[in-house]
Amino acid sequence: MFSNYKAQFMGGKKEKFVRLDDLDSNLSFKADMPGKTRIGFSLEGLTGASRSSNKPSKSFRVGMKRGSEGIITLGRSLKSGVSRAVFPEDLKVSGRKIFDPQDKSLLFWNKLLVCSCTLAVSIDPLFLYLPVFRSKEMCLHIDNSLAHTTTTLRTLVDAFYLIRMVLQFRTAYIAPSSRVFGRGELVIDPKQIAKRYTHRYFIVDLLSVLPLPQIVVWRFLHRAKGSDVLATKQALVFIVFLQYIPRFLRFLPLMSELKKTAGVFAESAWAGAVYYLLWFLLSSHIVGAFWYLLAVERRDACWEEACQDSDMCKANANLLYCASERPSNSNWENVTQTVLGSRCAINDTYSAFDYGIYANALTSGVVESEYFISKYFYCLWWGLQNLSTLGQGLETSTYPGEVIFSIAIAIFGLILFALLIGNMQTYLQSMTVRLEEMRIKRRDSEQWMHHRVLPPELRERVRRYDQYKWMETRGVDEESLVQSLPKDLRRDIKRHLCLNLVRRVPLFANMDERLLDAICERLKPSLCTENTYIVREGDPVDEMLFIIRGRLESVTTDGGRSGFFNRGLLKQGDFCGEELLTWALDPKAGSNLPPSTRTVKALTEVEAFALIADEVKYITSQFRRIHSRQVQHTFRFYSQHRRRCRI
C-alpha cells in the first residue's frame, strides 16, 4: 500500500506524490508498542524506522519531526481546497457509499428521472382543468374528484424526484483538473459533492418539487367557500406557470448529461422518433389546458362585468362562485337568468362580449362538463390543431391577453417544428441513410458507365455486383468497422469468423494458436458475383481465397498440354491460391508473384476471406515453424492431391 505513489517530472526533477486516500490510520502506532515499525508521514514519501537502532531517541525525534511536517502540509492542502479523488475503477473497492456517475444502475435511474420529469410536466396542466361551471346554479366551482386524483399523482412523482435529489448528494463527479487524459478522477468527498450540487442544481430542484399546487388544492378542499374558488383558480394559474420554469430548466441539462454519459438517449431510430412525437403531444396538452382555463377566465370576466350593471347582482357577487353549502335564493336565480344569460350569451350575435378564440370552448360545453375524458381530448385536439397550423385559423378579439396567447401559440408552434419535428425527421432519416447512400452510388455508377460507353454485358455485371454487395453488407463497411475496434477485440472477432476456415487447410490444421490468430487477423472479406474469374491459368497469384459461401470451378490444362484437362469444384470451407504458400516458403523466390496453375471461376455468388501476398510473406517470415520439413511435406502432398481431384 505504501508504494502507491505517482511520479511526475516537474522543473526537470522527478517528484513523487502519495495519494492521501491510501493513508490508513491503522498504519500509525504508538511509541511503546514493541515489534511494530514506526512510520513517519511526509508528502515526499513514507519512511519507516528500523526495528533496532542504537539511538532510539534520535530516531523517534526524526520520525516525529517528519510526521509533523506531513500533517502541516496536509492541513495546508485541505485549506486550499484539494478534494480527495480516485479513479473510477478504484471506487468499487474504496468501501464508500458513493455512486459512479457512469454506473449502469445510475444511468437507469437517470432515464427513469427523465420519464418522471416528462410525467410531472404532463400532470401539472391537469390542475388547470379543476375550475368547472355549473349551468343550473350559474356559478363556478372546483372539480373535487379531479382535484384528489391530480394532487395524488403530483405527490407520487415529486416523491420519486426527492429520491433522485438524495442520490445527487452521494454521486461522485469527475474533477475538472483531471480531464487532461482519459476519463479523469472521481471526487468522492461527500462535502465536495454536496457543495457542488448545492451551488448548481439544488435550488432549481427544490423549487421544482415544492408542493405548492397540492397546498392550494388541499386548502380549498378542507375549507371551501364561495370566494375560495376565485382565489384557488388564480393561484393555480400563477403557481403552475411559475413552476414550469425550474422544471424545464432542470430537464434540459439532465437530458444533456444523460446523452454525454450514455452516448444516446434512445437506442433505436423508432424510439427516438416516438420520443419526440410524445413531446409534441405534450406541448399540445399544455396549450389545450391553458386554452381551457383562459376560456373559463373570459366567461368569469363577462359575468363580473355584467354584474356591475345590476345592483342585486353586485351585492351578491360572491354567489358567482359555488360554495360547499349554497343557500337557495330564487331572486338570485332570476337575476342570473336575466342579467348573465342575456349579457354573456354565446350564440347571440348582438352580444356586447366577444369571446374570440374561446367561443368553441363555451359552445361545445367543455367548460361545464365534469366528464374529464371528453373534456381533455377535446382540448388536446384544439392544441394539436393550432400548434400544427401555427395558429393560422385563430380569429381573435381585441382583448390583449387573447392576442398575446395567440401570438405565443404561433411562436411556440414554430419552435416545435424547428426542434421536435426536425429531430423526428433526423431519427427517421437515419433509418434510410444507407439506402440513400446506395441510391446515390448507383446513380453515379450509371452516369459513369454511360459516359464511358460500357457495353451492356459489363454494365449488368457492375449492377449485379453492387446489388449483391448491398444484400450482404447493407451498406456497412465491415473492414473499417472491425479495424476501429481494439486489437484484442478485433482478434477475437476475426478468430470467430475465420478460425474454422483456416483449420480446414491441412497445412494449418496442426499449427499453434499464435499462427492461426495471425492468419485470421489479416484476412479481409471478399465478394465475387456469378461467372467472375478469380484468377486465370498463367496469371500471377496475388491472394489466397478462403470460401465462406458459394461454389467455384477450378480448371487446369497443365500449362496447355495437349489432351490434358482437370476440373474440380470448390465449396464452403475450401480455398484456392496455394501457390502463394510455395512462393513464400521458398527462400530463393524473388519479388515476382508465382503464376497460377489453374483457372478459378465463380459458379454462384461467392463470399470469401482473402489473404493477400504481402500478408502471406509476412506470416511465413515471422513464424519459422512453417518452414519445417513436416509442414512443407504436408503442403506438397496436399497440393498434388488437389491437382488429381476430378469430378
Ramachandran assignment for 135, one of left (phi > 0), alpha (psi -120 to 50 degrees), beta (any other): alpha
Range(s) of the domain holding residue 467: 435-473
CA distance 69 to 524: 63
Residues 216 and 340 in one domain: no
pTM: 0.58
Judge if 137 and 261 occupy the same domain. Answer: yes
Tell me which H or E stretch contains 408.
helix 400-416
Q: Do 15 and 36 reside in the same domain of the chain?
A: yes
Total domains in the fold of the chain = 5
260 and 302 both lie in a single domain: no
Could you identify the residue written with the cell 368547472?
Answer: 132
Cell readout for 308 is 356591475
Q: Do 335 and 352 touch, CB atoms closer than 8 A?
A: no
The partner residues of 574 in beta bridges, in order of sequence, read none
pLDDT in the model for residue 624: 66
Do residues 348 and 412 share a domain? yes
Q: Domain for residue 87, yes or no?
A: no
Of 22, 55, 82, the residue that ends a domain is 82
- Would you say residue 429 lies in a domain? no
pLDDT at 330: 58
DSSP-derived secondary structure for 522-573: H-EEEEE-TT-EEE-TTSBP-EEEEEEES-EEEEE-TTT-TT--EEEEE-TT
Residue stretches of the chain with pLDDT short of 70: 1-97, 99-107, 173-185, 222-228, 253-272, 310-319, 323-333, 336-339, 341-342, 347-352, 427-428, 430-432, 472, 474-475, 505-508, 559-563, 623-628, 630-647
pLDDT at 33: 41
Same domain, 246 and 304: no
Domain closes at, from 82, 111, 131: 82
All three cell numbers of 286: 399544455
CATH of the domain at 601: 2.60.120.10
Taking a C-beta distance cutoff of 8 angstroms, is the pair 46, 147 a contact?
Answer: no
Sign of the CA dihedral running 390, 393, 398, 402: negative
Q: Where are the beta strands (DSSP E) in 5-60?
A: 5-10, 13-18, 39-42, 45-48
pLDDT at 84: 53
What integer pLDDT is reported at residue 130 of this predicted model? 86
